[in-house]
Amino acid sequence: MEGNALSNKRQAVTLTCLRELIGFYERHGFKNEGMALSKHGGAEWFNMVKVI
């Protein structure tokens, strides 16, 4: 699929990150949506969302 997120009618960007990166993503416009279900690597992951 070509183009960018807006031209493809995306409404948000989502990612999961470790606790120590929450502040970094919040400073870049992401909102912390709470703990993710993922237990990858035995770590706690958090859902981050940025509306575009």
Q: What is the pLDDT of residue 37?
A: 95
The residue written with tokens 């909102």 in the block is 31
At 1-51, the pLDDT tens digits run 577 777 778 899 999 999 999 999 999 999 999 999 999 999 999 999 999
Written in H, E and C, the secondary structure of the chain is CCCCCCCCCCCEEEEEEEHHHHHHHHHCCCEEEEECCCCHHHCCEEEEEEEC
Angle among Cα 22, 20, 13 to the nearest 5 degrees reads 30
Total-model pTM: 0.82
